[in-house]
Chains A and B, each alone.
Chain A
Amino acid sequence: MAVEKYGLRCQPPRGWRLAIDRKATLSAAVPHGLSPQVRSRAVERVEPNGEVMRPILHACTIDLPSGRGDFGSGVVDLLGSEDVFISLVEFGSEVADQGLFADQGMPRLAPSQFAPNRLQRPLPGRSASQHFFSVGGRAFCLFTVIGSHSRRMATVPRAAEVVRGLQVTDRQTLVRRGEMS
């Protein structure tokens, strides 16, 4: 079943777990220009200290533990050789379409992009890839971890299929809906 939240839509295959979160404390505020009515749907929330909480999508072939790191710490440690973890992290429109986020469009995953040293913390057997890009005026990082580097020819296509199915609502549409400033 497809899940759409914060302008991100994903329909993972059967058996995958999916979470689209935008963490925020109760005291976090919606950005200027957004009405309180869209509070729960607002793509961005601003913490009292200025930090901006943005959507993070996690898709995984195993259960997603609470308290996991945004780039999957606490999850990737648990992956079996056939498992896949995907994290799509949003970085904000102010950095979209330039520099690190100049590449356009959702990346197409390929086994050649994966390497054991591409994790935040290398773990035996694991392999990962990382892509920075922009879609519709929104900046993202796609971080994908597979349970076994030696099994990448089998697992990366499964990850690629999920990524191909990811849909991003462009910034202008979200602004028009009042969900982004």
Chain B
Amino acid sequence: MSGTLEQITTGERRGLVGLITRVSERFGPVGRRGFFVGAAVAGSALATDPRAYALKPQTAYSTICGPGNTASSGWTVFCSTINKGVNSCPPGSFAAGWWKAADSSWCGGGYRYIVDCNASCSKCTSGCSGDHICDKGCWNCSCGTGSTATCDQRRICCNAFRYGQCNTQVKCSGGVHCRVVSCVPPYKWANCTTTSLRDDRTAEHSAPSLPKWGPIAARYKAMGEQGSFLKASTGPVRSVGDGTGTYVRYQGGAIYSTSAHGSRALGNWVLQKWNEEGGPRGHLGYPTSEKITTRDSGWVYLFQKGAITDSASTTTQAVWGVRYDVWKREGREGGKLGYPVGPKTDVTNGWIQVFQKGAITDSTATTTQSVWGIRFDVWKKEGREKGVLGFPKGPVTYSSSGWIQLFQKGAITDSDSTSTQSVHGAMWTGWVAAGRENGVLGYPTAAVRSASRGSYQTFRTGELWRLGTGSARRVYGGVLSQWKAAGGATGKYGYPLTDTVSSNGKLTCQFEGGTITT
């Protein structure tokens, strides 16, 4: 049921469907596992060795595994085939030597390095004299062949041979348990010497459990492969399933790749956090950067829609969506908010994410805002979104003499001649009625204070006084001076019952004990 490339492309079943159908028919040895599996493997085979696959009668799986993939060929199996997909020496074996093969499609047409993992003489050491290979009964593995579930049916732990450049302190070993591959010389990531040996006939030997060459493998190679924090691959290139991304898992993390955002390596820790946020299909989307080192021994990984970050003073947190937009606008970890200290948290009628020096928050009645610096300190002291101020309604705004940030039920403000204060509740209503910071009272100079029968708040050019739970009344100018001179709220005039108003060039205010006009 095989065909040449010409037959495949010019036969009765023309076009892509015909091509895939014909190609998929080559799955004799492994049986049919569905059209899509067939198409995927055939695609890999075409990508890996198109000429050999198209022109020689063989199965797609055989092409992935390369030549000499049966037990009778005599070659040794790949470790990934027998080590749960992991491209490293299995327990009880060690890197014992290496060679390289030129023009390998598995390394982008460059050199591919193959490392023999030889069995340890764990059971005994007899037979070591002379040839440095212990008796078979001493080996930590026994001779066999790979599973028929894979095309890599090469021999396991049969060949009593040693290449000899690695772990030369180990004088005696068993046979070759399996083979590890890399596009980076093994003396850069294993205890091997630089003595170079070569056998180009093994350039296309491989296994379905090994990642094929592509953007991910190229990135992995640039990182140093097994010598990087990723360590060994634990499986082939896999599809995310969204038609966009692919990935390869490694012992120390993963590389995710998209055409739009490149191939990005993530360590296990950030990978776990990312997966908690839904991975590539979640809140954050695909990674757009690798680890970026930041201040305070921190780091940031950027994603399409957010970031994951940590520092010496914080724990690992994700910032995503509109919060990320605001955080980025405010200078990210080096800006006004600093590092996040917690996740996005739902609160009554809204949500909040707290940072080292502030917060980003929103509610059903407001828009997304950040509160940072001293405003955040005051807002926190006042009970944050549950307190007397409620959610922020806007950003901090500046004037020539001060600044103000508005909240649902008040404001936090400051000026050149005052200290930072909040104005809220009835005082806020009174201050707004008086024209706020630009009105007759100016900026607040102190917080609300209790007084006998009521409360008050002082401002740069006047005061607001409130009897019990009534309205706050403004007192300022000459009226304020006379009232204070007469003992204020505890004097003969008592509390103001009206606001001080200006009429015909005079100020007047009605109090419990009379009216003052100046």
Q: State whether B197 touches A89 (Cβ < 8 A).
A: yes
Most B C-beta atoms less than 10 A away, residue of A52, A92, A122: A122
List B residues 400-430 near A (Cβ within 8 Å): none
Beta-carbon contact of B196 and A91 below 8 Å: no
CB distance from B77 to the nearest CB of A (A): 12
Contact indicator per residue, chain B 128-172, by CB within 8 Å of chain A (1) or not (0): 001111000000000000000000000100111111110011110
Among listed A66-74, A146-154, A156-164, interface-contacting one: A66-74
A122 and B74 form a contact (CB under 8 A): yes
Q: If the complex has contacts A49-B185, A73-B199, are A95 and B161 also in contact, measured as CB distance less than 8 A? A: no
Binds B, one of A11-19, A33-41, A98-106, A172-180: A98-106
- Contacting residues, chain B, for A120 (C-beta < 8 A): 159, 161, 199
A121 and B159 within 8 A (CB) = yes
Indicate whether A130 sits within 8 Å of B168 (C-beta atoms), given known contacts A69-B199, A121-B74, A121-B75. no
In this assembly, does B201 line the interface, its C-beta being within 8 Å of a C-beta of chain A? yes
CB distance from B175 to the nearest CB of A (A): 7
Residues of A contacting B99 in the complex (Cβ-Cβ under 8 angstroms): 69-71
Binary flags per residue of B196-213, CB closer than 8 Å to A gives 1, else 0: 111111100000000000
- Given A99-B171, A122-B74, A123-B74, verify A91-B165 contact (CB < 8 Å): yes
CA distance A74 to B185 in the complex (A): 23
Size class of the B contact interface (CB-based, 8 Å): 35 or more
Q: Which residues of B contact A122 (CB under 8 A)?
A: 74, 155, 158-159
By the criterion CB–CB under 8 Å, are B195 and A117 in contact?
no
B76, B162, B201: the one contacting A130 at CB < 8 Å is B162
Please, how many angstroms separate the alpha-carbon atoms of A172 and B268 in the complex? 50
9 of the cross-chain contacts (CB-CB < 8 Å) are A23-B198, A50-B188, A52-B193, A69-B199, A71-B197, A89-B164, A100-B169, A100-B170, A100-B171
The list of the 3 closest CB pairs from A to B, nearest first, reads A69-B199, A121-B74, A51-B196
Q: Is the CB of B171 within 8 A of A113?
A: no
Given the interface pairs A92-B193, A95-B168, A132-B132, the reply to whether A117 lies near B199 with Cβ below 8 Å is no
- Residues of B close to A82: CB separation below 8 A: none
The interface residues of chain B lying within 8 Å CB-to-CB of A92 are: 193-195
Decide if A118 is an interface residue (CB 8 Å cutoff): yes
CB of A9 closer than 8 Å to a CB of B: no
Q: Find chain A residues with CB under 8 A from B168 CB.
A: 91, 95, 98-101
- Determine how close the nearest CB of chain A comes to the CB of B205; give it in whole angstroms: 11
Residues of B contacting A: mostly: loop
Q: With an 8 A cutoff between CB atoms, is B187 at the interface?
A: yes
B73 sits at the interface (CB 8 A): yes
Q: How far is the CA of A58 from the CA of B175 in the complex (A)?
A: 24
Complex formed: what's the CA distance from A128 to B161 in Å? 9
A-B contact count (CB 8 A): 115
Q: Which residues from chain B contact A90 at a C-beta distance below 8 Å?
A: 195
* A5 CB contacts on chain B under 8 angstroms: none
- Output the least CB separation between B133 and chain A (Å): 7
Binding site for A on B (CB under 8 A): 68, 73-76, 99, 130-133, 155, 158-165, 168-171, 175, 185, 187-188, 193-202
Residues of B within 8 A of A91 (CB): 164-165, 168, 193, 195
Q: Which residue of B lies closest to A46 (CB)?
A: B194
Distance to closest chain A CB from B10 (angstroms): 35
> A95 CA to B155 CA in the complex, in Å?
30
**A153, B198: Cα distance in complex, Å:** 31
Chain B residue contacts of A67, Cβ below 8 A: 200
Task: Let me know if B201 and A74 touch, CB within 8 A.
Answer: yes
**Other contacts beyond A90-B195, A91-B168: 20, CB < 8 A:** A49-B185, A69-B99, A70-B99, A71-B161, A71-B199, A73-B199, A91-B164, A92-B194, A100-B162, A100-B170, A113-B130, A113-B131, A117-B158, A119-B159, A122-B155, A122-B159, A123-B74, A128-B161, A131-B132, A141-B164
User: Closest CB of chain B to A111's CB: distance in Å?
Assistant: 13
Contacts of B169 on A, CB cut-off 8 Å? 98-100
Contact yes or no, B159 A117, CB < 8 A: yes
Q: How far is the CA of A43 from the CA of B187 in the complex (A)?
A: 20
Contacts of A89 in B (CB 8 A): 164, 197
